[in-house]
């Protein structure tokens, strides 16, 4: 179908956030250390560049390296400590000085 957009879910375990491109939603992507993000991007780009251009053995090696880098990202997310829900709320101060708490864009 022309003009159709493909949406998929974040690859993080248990996350159902719809994403348009990439592997993870922004919250999970930026929870991955920069070194792992750069490694998976480099491995993906190398595998993509070699697709149908490099000998089969080289393509398989690059694909395996990409798979390892991707699994490293998933493993990091599984091991990373969860952020408590209380830490994800925003506290604002109203004009009268009272605390106003928001979570997910809604006033609590």
pLDDT digits (tens, 9 = 90+) for 54-78: 888 888 999 999 999 999 999 999 9
| 41 burial type by CB count under 10 A (0-12 exposed, 13-18 middle, 19+ buried) | middle
What is the reported pTM?
Answer: 0.67
> What is the tens place of the pLDDT at every residue in 11-35?
998 888 999 888 999 989 989 999 9
For the chain, the 3-state helix, strand and coil shares in percent, each to the nearest 5, are: 45, 15, 40
- Tokens of residue 33, six digits: 């250390």
Q: Taking the domains of the chain in order of start, what are their residue ranges?
A: 11-107
Distance separating alpha carbons of residues 99 and 68, to the nearest angstrom: 47
Q: What is the pLDDT of residue 107?
A: 45
């Amino acid at each position: 179908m022309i003009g159709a957009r493909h949406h998929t879910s974040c690859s993080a375990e248990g996350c159902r956030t719809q994403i348009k491109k990439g592997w993870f939603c922004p919250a999970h992507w930026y929870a991955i250390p920069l070194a792992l993000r750069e490694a998976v991007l480099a491995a993906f780009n190398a595998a993509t560049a070699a697709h149908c251009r490099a000998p089969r053995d080289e393509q398989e090696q690059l694909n395996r390296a990409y798979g390892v880098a991707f699994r490293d990202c998933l493993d990091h997310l599984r091991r990373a400590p969860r952020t408590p829900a209380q830490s994800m709320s925003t506290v604002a101060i109203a004009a009268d000085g009272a605390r106003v708490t928001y979570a997910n864009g809604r006033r609590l």
